[in-house]
Structure 1
């Protein structure tokens, strides 16, 4: 299987916090267990609709998040597996999120965020892959 081009994740999720991060990482897992990170991306929840107009979340509400995982090109050889890792942090690659809506550079105290990902008929979370025919 060949993946070449821009990749994204459509994620339906809720959080106990007013702001949090969602990260996605695409990984090629070899038969011997070695894991090669291919590409990753992050979305700060408050910027889910606009970079110019941040919107905090209401605790417990379900929102749609589109994470740009950027572009890559990789051929998954026979026996290799594709792994998608979803998390709420990828520190130190990306800066921390206090989960409070405060500026992460000036804020002093963070709160724990309990995040829930939904995947059902009403909330079709998905990995969008550009597959190339071979």
Structure 2
């Protein structure tokens, strides 16, 4: 929706995503965007999570295809005042190449691997799987 009044967002932002994949590994990316009334979309911050590292960077865990997992994507901290008339956009994807390296959606090393598979990813948003964006809104 179009903002009727200014909204300040300052601090760490994250996306809590409930999702499943047909692949044993995949990426989930998210971008927070300020959309002006003229349609210009300004990227404010973004982040990525490689599914195999959802619990630990030191101990990768592959996915069980079709199983629903909770993923937390860190969009880092930012500060922005969304002006009245603007819209806030959240874009979720499975790739942001070349900003982030490729993911073959397999267990192979992404730099040396040659076998890749197409991942079909599903995002869930219901009472049992409440996918959300966590925004630190500052009272003005």
Q: TM-score range by the shorter chain?
A: over 0.9
Determine the structure 1 residue equivalent to 2:4: none
In the TM superposition, structure 1's runs of 4+ consecutive aligned residues that sit over 4 Å from their partners are none
What is the aligned partner in structure 1 of residue 39 from structure 2? 33
Question: What is the CA distance between 1:93 and its match in structure 2?
Answer: 0.2
Structure 2 gaps, min length 5:
1-6
How high is the TM-score relative to the length of structure 1? 0.99
Could you tell me which of 125, 128, 132 is aligned with 1:122? 128
Residues in 2 aligned to 1:103 and 1:82: alpha-carbon distance in whole angstroms = 36
Residue 116 (structure 2) pairs with residue 78 (structure 1): no
- Deviation sequence 1:27-62 (CA, Å, 0-9, x none): 000000000000000000000011111000011000
Q: 2:118 matched to 1:100?
A: no
Tell me the CA shift for residue 109 of structure 1.
Answer: 2.0
For residues 93 and 104 of structure 1, the distance between their equivalents in structure 2, rounded to whole angstroms, comes to 14
- The equivalent of 1:45 in structure 2 is 51
| Contact 2:108-2:115 at 8 Å conserved across structures | no
Query: Runs of 5+ in structure 1 lacking a partner?
Result: none
Residue 60 of structure 1 aligns with which residue?
A: 66
SS at match of 1:46: helix
- Give the corresponding residue for 1:21: 27
Question: Does 2:45 align with 1:9?
Answer: no
CA-CA distance at 1:101 after TM superposition:
1.5
Aligned length: 134
Q: Distance in 2 between matches of 1:86 and 1:42?
A: 10
Structure 2 CA distance for aligned equivalents of residues 57 and 110 of structure 1: 15
User: TM-score, normalised on structure 2?
Assistant: 0.95
